[in-house]
Amino acid sequence: MSEKILIVEDEKKISRFLELELRHEEYEVLKAYDGRTGLELALNEAPDLIILDLMLPGMSGIEVCRRLRQAKESVPIIMLTAKDDVSDKVMGLDMGADDYMTKPFAIEELLARIRVAIKRKGAEPAAAEVLRYQELKVDHIKHQVQYKEDIIELTKKEYELLRYLLENKNIALDREKILEKVWGYDYYGDTNVIDVYIRYLRSKIDQKYGVDMIKTVRGVGYIIYDE
């Protein structure tokens, strides 16, 4: 059975173009031209992946994404936008988007990212239930991060980045590898988004609790040493 992809895009020419390309690749396609209809289809039709525009009438793509994650929907979301700014990327990813593409984009790259996202969803290995660093505990079953008795509120991408660093303690991870593993695709472009998320984690953990957990490896990336 072919995978089902939901396109939520108010520009009808772009929506039709995407529909034709996806049907040519033998995907089943659903379409919505506004955020509220897109959210309803996402909740009721169980798509395997959502292509979601950032700027939508009725309800923004950011809000659609936020509500889907609140409803515990884990469907991969690729966000589209005409804006090309790190802050827009971070906003979409913070709300739970898995990927981000800026218009105009090459359809071949979008199709490649769709294949990776769907394959990744169906082949995720079982993760360790609990990871620890000193007094920090990351509980995969509860999807919860705790320092001593404090519960630390992290966004979806902050949580996934922290887990990836902890799962690879004592290994210097370069930014491209982090993007590939945490965001689930080969990213060709600005890696500043990783530095932004590292700052978020350091603010919420290292600086708040006076620990030196996430270390910078100059010219490479980041590492957590096994204490």
Residue 123 is predicted with a pLDDT of 54
Residue 122 is predicted with a pLDDT of 64
pLDDT digits (tens, 9 = 90+) for 60-73: 999 999 899 887 77
Taking the C-alpha atoms of residue 113 and residue 214, their distance in angstroms, rounded to an integer, is: 29
Domain assignments of the chain as residue spans, ordered by start: 4-122, 130-223
Higher-pLDDT residue of 25 and 69 is: 25
Taking the C-alpha atoms of residue 93 and residue 221, their distance in angstroms, rounded to an integer, is: 20
Q: How far is CA 170 from the centre of its chain?
A: 25
11 pLDDT tier (thresholds 50, 70, 90) = very high
Q: In the predicted model, what is the mean pLDDT of the chain?
A: 87
CATH number for region 4-122: 3.40.50.2300
| Mean of pLDDT values over 155-166 | 91
| Mean of pLDDT values over 78-87 | 77
| Biggest distance spanned by C-alpha atoms of the chain | 55
pLDDT digits (tens, 9 = 90+) for 83-127: 666 676 777 787 888 888 888 889 999 999 999 888 877 655 445
Residue 71 is predicted with a pLDDT of 79
Query: In terms of Cα–Cα distance, which of 142, 80, 145 is closest to 114?
Result: 80
Residue 191 is predicted with a pLDDT of 67
Is the domain spanning 130-223 CATH 1.20.1250.20? The answer is: no
ω into 76 cis (within 30 of 0): no
